[in-house]
């Protein structure tokens, strides 16, 4: 049996012997897993090492701090909002969009991001917020603006509904309900967002 | 000079000798002050005692935990959204409302509430969320619905714009922008919320 230096350090036999990218991937996965379960507050380099079945030294050799590791973990798991198929009507496009956004919110990367946003105070969250805005918020906003542009072209949406604040309404309502609603966002919530808010807000 | 037992415990002469409600008020004020400055994460019973110029024992005698103390501190400082004067038009009413809500957000109580919401993970935030919903969110929602009802009576607002989700749009956008905007909410943001979102959303 091969015993790695790190495992000796931790006083346990190595279950897995991995190197380079394979071990790095396992550490990043462990960080995401810990973020979604124990949250930012409960996250420790020890916990991540244990979850990745490696030693703490192996983690610190690659990332000097919890912050640096979490930035890389979030980068590796940014939910991909993908492209918007044209479903032929504003309402169908909006329903597709909100379902896609809810999927992203509850993906492993989405849960990790919300854990960081929910728990970090402002100064601690700064390096993450920039990453989240560029990696998730902006791509989501581009999809919404694409749906709005198509609606304008079809004559379904008023021509001046292209402001940034209009594109913020869907993610803002989803974040607000997830934070204060005391339960997960259900399909009924999404249909309310579309039929009671976005359709009347956008109609021409 | 009178030296209190608590001050002897802390190894320092008492600067102030207060009892009962006066001391309690000072401790609650100190907790709010610490929440707005060092945040939930940085808040300690020691820090609160020091800020209130009393001993840690005096704090623990009244509140068994940081959680219990913060619940009482938030209760004591819930921003009062007050009543809505009728300004004669939907736009004027909405502008008044969003200015009032921003004032609440940046009051001492509002900053303390946001600190708790921003930093606590879900399980830690539970006892606070109920308090915040009943003490701040629901009163704010009543004001918005009052503005909408008046607008319907004036014929400015469509009759079916009375859903809960419609009343969530303003606070959701304010929370979202405060969290992800990287700066304080300014009057320009409020005017955008009114003119680009609420006016088109509500118009009859």
Q: What is the pLDDT of residues A12-42, one digit of tens each?
A: 445 566 778 899 999 999 999 998 888 887 8
Over 50: is that where the pLDDT of A9 sits? no
Residue B22's alpha-carbon distances to A189, B16, B36, B168, in angstroms, are 46, 11, 21, 38
Task: Tell me if B176 sits within 8 A of A176, measured CB to CB.
Answer: yes
At residue B159, what are phi and psi to the nearest 5 degrees? Answer: -70, -20
Measured between CB atoms, which of B118, B168, B200 is closest to A201? B200
Given this model, what pLDDT does residue A130 score? 81
Over 80: is that where the pLDDT of A108 sits? yes
Q: Residue B150 has which token pair?
A: 């008046």
Task: Out of A22-31, A67-76, A122-131, A179-188, pick the least confident.
Answer: A122-131
Given this model, what pLDDT does residue A114 score? 82
What is the C-alpha separation between A5 and A57, in angstroms, rounded?
A: 10
User: Nearest residue of A to residue B189 by CA position?
Assistant: A165
Given this model, what pLDDT does residue A201 score? 98
Over 50: is that where the pLDDT of B7 sits? no
Tens-place pLDDT, residues A112-140: 888 887 776 666 777 788 888 888 888 88
Instruction: List the single best residue of A122, A124, A167 to mutate versus B (max B Cβ within 10 A).
Output: A122
B39 touching A (Cβ < 8 Å): yes
Given this model, what pLDDT does residue A8 score? 45
- Average pLDDT value for residue range A159-182: 91
A188 touching B (Cβ < 8 Å): no
Over 80: is that where the pLDDT of A11 sits? no
**Do A196 and B121 make contact, defined as CB atoms within 8 angstroms?**
no
Q: Residue A36 has which token pair?
A: 């979604």
Percent of chain A residues past pLDDT 90, beyond the cut? 56
Name the pLDDT band for B15 (thresholds 50, 70, 90). low
B11 touching A (Cβ < 8 Å): no
- Average pLDDT value for residue range B8-13: 47
Tens-place pLDDT, residues B124-183: 677 788 888 888 888 889 999 999 999 999 999 999 999 999 999 999 999 899 888 778
Burial of residue A66 (number of CB atoms within 10 Å: 0-12, 13-18, 19+): middle
Name the pLDDT band for A3 (thresholds 50, 70, 90). very low
> In whole angstroms, what separates CA B155 from the centre of its chain?
33
**Do B165 and A133 make contact, defined as CB atoms within 8 angstroms?**
no
- Average pLDDT value for residue range B48-73: 94
Given this model, what pLDDT does residue A19 score? 75
Percent of chain B residues past pLDDT 70, beyond the cut? 89
Over 80: is that where the pLDDT of B93 sits? yes
B197 touching A (Cβ < 8 Å): yes
Q: Tokens 């579309």 appear where?
A: A194
B75 touching A (Cβ < 8 Å): no
Q: Residue A126 has which token pair?
A: 């700064």
**Do B169 and A173 make contact, defined as CB atoms within 8 angstroms?**
yes
């Amino acid at each position: 049996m091969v015993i790695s230096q790190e495992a000796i350090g931790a006083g346990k036999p190595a279950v897995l012997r991995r190197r380079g990218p394979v071990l790095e991937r396992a550490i990043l996965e462990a960080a995401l897993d810990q973020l979604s379960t124990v949250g930012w507050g409960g996250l420790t380099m020890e916990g991540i090492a244990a979850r990745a079945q490696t030693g703490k030294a192996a983690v610190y050799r690659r990332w000097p701090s919890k912050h640096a590791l979490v930035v890389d973990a979030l980068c590796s798991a940014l939910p991909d909002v993908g492209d918007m198929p044209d479903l032929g009507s504003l309402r169908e496009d909006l329903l597709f969009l909100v379902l896609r956004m809810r999927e992203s919110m509850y993906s492993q990367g989405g849960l990790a991001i919300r854990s960081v946003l929910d728990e970090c105070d402002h100064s601690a969250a700064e390096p993450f917020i920039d990453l989240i805005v560029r990696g998730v918020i902006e791509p989501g906003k581009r999809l919404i603006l694409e749906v709005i542009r198509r609606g304008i072209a079809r004559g379904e949406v008023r021509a001046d509904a292209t402001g940034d604040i209009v594109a913020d309404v869907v993610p803002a309502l989803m974040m607000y309900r997830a934070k204060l609603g005391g339960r997960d966002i259900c399909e009924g919530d999404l249909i309310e967002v579309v039929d009671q808010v976005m359709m009347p807000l956008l109609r021409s």
